[in-house]
Amino acid sequence: MTTSNYATERETSEGRVFTVTGGDWDSVVSGTDPINDERIVVNMGPQHPSTHGVLRLVLELEGETVREMRSVIGYLHTGIEKNLEYRNWVQGSTFVTRMDYLSPLFNETAYALAVEKLLGITDDITERANTIRVLMMELNRISSHLVWVATTAMELGAVNMMLYGFREREYILEIFELVTGLRMNHAYVRPGGVAQDVPDDAIVKIRKFLQLMPKRLREYENLLSGQPIWVERTKNVAVLDVTGCVALGITGPVLRSAGLAWDLRKTMPYCGYETYEFDVPTHPDGDVWGRYQVRLAEIRESLKLVEQAVDRLGKRGPVMVADKKIAWPAQLAIGVDGMGNSLEHVAKIMGQSMESLIHHFKLVTEGFRVPPGQVYVAVESPRGELGVHAVSDGGTRPYRVHYREPSFVNLQALPAMAEGGLIADVIAGGASLDPVMGGCDR
């Protein structure tokens, strides 16, 4: 029997079981003599409030200077990718939305685009469905960036910004609830289109938000940008230049804050982004200040995209592909309990024909078959390139779905940013990456 260099193992009636200890803490500590070396090894996390979730950082310190740092992940492992193999293709939407829980609509859209590419129906997605996807993703980008500026400001001492950022995010979550029925974990974007159309009251609320948000952004900048402590804690802190970003595979605002205008919405457009007018903000310095500036600028560009998308929603149209063998039932009428289908909707389904009723039942319970093959599709999430590698064996369930998650990849940059700097700057540098551990530990 082979032995593992990384984990102890034992044989059980269920097979071989490995015991993973979570990092190499013992070996790190045993190699350090704190008295003679004047160094100390400490844990930051996995419950530390500044680790943006259950992230553990093992720091080797000399005074307040970080000499060595390593990230330990896995404390929030959900097994979502494995669970996808046991549900049909449409049910997968309810799993992937829970990964990066600050940007669920990006998880759903990337997954739907991958399934549609496998089905060969990418060009059949209706214009209205693509417009709604862009609208919802850009609102989601704004809400995610608001959480970033709110939590990062709090960690660096600006507590008021935490309250204001979540105040505006709450407004967006109310819009999501009007459109999808839920504040998060929507399962709204599905293979073939979206679950239902955008209601008129949501359009009214979005237009009010478009009037409100520019003023609020100016308030954020008045609160933070000229504040000496904020500037001191962010400028020339956790610097990572464009060469380091490219070498480590870093994408998103962190890469753009180092000067490279790489944005998949421009370079590899999807969902009709090539038909929208918007810019890709960059910053030359590659520090925490630059990442702050880029994210605020991205909120402004997302507001432009939301306005253009809302303007395109004037004329009603289908939000799901026409092929009834793929189209999940959309435009559902909610029952009086606010949960199930209304009696009128059930009567409509049952009153069409026995064949359509059988087909409806099979589509919901069994799902549709996807031709064998594999694809990779990527979208520009608030944290960078969110890619889906989907593999089909020709059945009604995925053979394998793997996400290229930007939080996981971007965390590689933290040692490069932190080592040689102060322990206080680990907080600023880690926050500037905007990692979400739900996506990292999927």
Quick: pLDDT tens for 176-196: 999 988 888 888 999 999 988
Task: Give the pLDDT confidence score for residue 11 in this predicted structure.
Answer: 83
pLDDT bin (cut points 50, 70, 90) of residue 277 is very high
379 pLDDT more than 90: yes
What's the average model confidence in pLDDT over 165-177? Answer: 93
Mean pLDDT of the chain: 86
377 pLDDT more than 90: yes
Task: Give the pLDDT confidence score for residue 20 in this predicted structure.
Answer: 59
CA distances from 293 to 194, 276, 394 (A): 33, 22, 46
Q: What tokens appear for 272 in the block?
A: 């009709």
Cut 0.85: pTM above it: yes
What's the average model confidence in pLDDT over 341-357? Answer: 67
* Residues in a beta bridge with 65: 62, 422
Question: Minimum mean pLDDT among 167-181, 204-218, 312-326, 353-367: which range?
Answer: 353-367
293 pLDDT more than 80: yes
Q: Does domain 80-322+368-440 have CATH number 1.10.645.10?
A: yes
Task: Give the pLDDT confidence score for residue 393 in this predicted structure.
Answer: 93
**Separation of alpha carbons 313 and 359, rounded Å:** 31
Question: Minimum mean pLDDT among 52-56, 76-80, 161-165, 355-359: which range?
Answer: 355-359
Q: Cβ(41)–Cβ(26) under 8 Å?
A: no
CA distances from 233 to 144, 236, 420, 432 (A): 22, 8, 16, 12
Question: Minimum mean pLDDT among 80-94, 300-314, 360-374, 397-411: which range?
Answer: 360-374
115 pLDDT more than 90: yes
Task: Give the pLDDT confidence score for residue 353 in this predicted structure.
Answer: 65
3-state SS of the chain is: CCCCCCCEEEEECCEEEEECCCCCHHHHHHCCCCCCCCCEEEEECCCCHHHCCCCEEEEEEECCEEEEEEEECCCCCCCHHHHHHHCCCCCHHHHHCCCCCCCHHHHHHHHHHHHHHHHCCHHHCCHHHHHHHHHHHHHHHHHHHHHHHHHHHHHCCCHHHHHHHHHHHHHHHHHHHHHHCCCCCCCCEECCEECCCCCHHHHHHHHHHHHHHHHHHHHHHHHHCCCHHHHHHHCCCCCCCHHHHHHHCCCCHHHHCCCCCCCHHHHCCCCCHHHCCCCCCCCCCCCHHHHHHHHHHHHHHHHHHHHHHHHHCCCCCCCECCCCCCCCCCCCCECCCCCCECHHHHHHHHHHCHHHHHHHHHHHHCCCCCCCEEEEEEEEECCEEEEEEEEECCCCCCCEEEEECHHHHHCCHHHHHHCCCEHHHHHHHHHHHCCCHHHHCC
Domain edges within the chain: 80-322+368-440
**Separation of alpha carbons 44 and 71, rounded Å:** 10
Q: How many CB atoms lie within 10 A of CB 139?
A: 24
Task: Give the pLDDT confidence score for residue 329 in this predicted structure.
Answer: 62
What's the average model confidence in pLDDT over 135-160? Answer: 93
Please name the residues in contact with 337: beta carbons below 8 A apart, sequence gap of 6 or more: none
pLDDT bin (cut points 50, 70, 90) of residue 206 is very high
| C-alpha closest to that of 93 among 191, 192, 173, 179 | 191
429 pLDDT more than 80: yes
**Separation of alpha carbons 206 and 189, rounded Å:** 19
**Separation of alpha carbons 262 and 282, rounded Å:** 9
Question: Minimum mean pLDDT among 51-55, 136-140, 198-202, 345-349: which range?
Answer: 345-349
Find the distance separating the first CA and the last CA of the chain, reported in whole Å: 30
Chain centre to alpha carbon of residue 360: 32
At 236-259, the pLDDT tens digits run 988 999 999 999 999 999 999 999
Share of the chain above pLDDT 70, in %: 87
**Separation of alpha carbons 89 and 394, rounded Å:** 11
